[in-house]
Amino acid sequence: MSEATDPWLIVGLGNPGPEYAANRHNVGFMIADLLAERIGGKFKRAQKAQAQVVEGRIGPPGPASRRVILAKPMSYMNLSGGPVTALRDFYKVPTDHIVAIHDELDIDYGMLRLKLGGGDNGHNGLKSMTKSMGSDYHRIRFGIGRPPGRMQVADFVLKDFSSTERKELGYLVDRAADSVECLLAEGLERAQSAYNS
């Protein structure tokens, strides 16, 4: 059973490298970058895992503040489970204190859904994490919608957000980062009622 003092591991899912940076599949990285900025930290290479990490605290000073490790696996999306499990073990994080932030095809663009546990819905990053450590971790699902026409899913997720989508992207990433802070400070039910759309 996890304790209030246990650290949280917040994992933004994406692919490493500048050619992927603005892809739909990398929205988890974008949200993790914003959270790192908010806590005044810079990502650096983790010693014990193929990932970049920032350690800090989220929430108001005092007992409500939560110790967090923000992470971006550097293994490519479909191998995310290895680095996340290594970080979980190194920092001694209970699985229900892990939050995966990822793109979600089955939700309209910019909508959020927060949940604990469940299936991977074909998402390779979640599939890899669940295979490595079970499914009892939190997810923050950021909607990217379905591909238009006959475009293949793999092509769609590895394309940059459209110019229309980019107009709102900053605001939506900001809102997703707020939802992480709310989840840690006030719990899943409160965060779901505030942010699930």
Helices (H) then strands (E): counts for the chain: 6, 7
DSSP letters, 28-67, are HHHHHHHHHHHTT---EE-SSSSEEEEEEEESSSSTT-EE
Residue 192 identity: Q
Identity at 31, one-letter amino acid code? I
Task: Name beta bridge partners: 10.
Answer: 70, 99
Instruction: Give the whole-angstrom CA distance, residue 145 versus residue 110.
Output: 8
Catalytically annotated residue among 25, 102, 123, 138: 25
Q: How far is CA 79 from the centre of its chain?
A: 15
25 carries an active-site annotation: yes
Which single residue is written with the structure tokens 């604990």? 116
Query: Sign (positive/negative) of CA torsion 73, 28, 92, 41?
Result: positive
Positions marked catalytic:
25
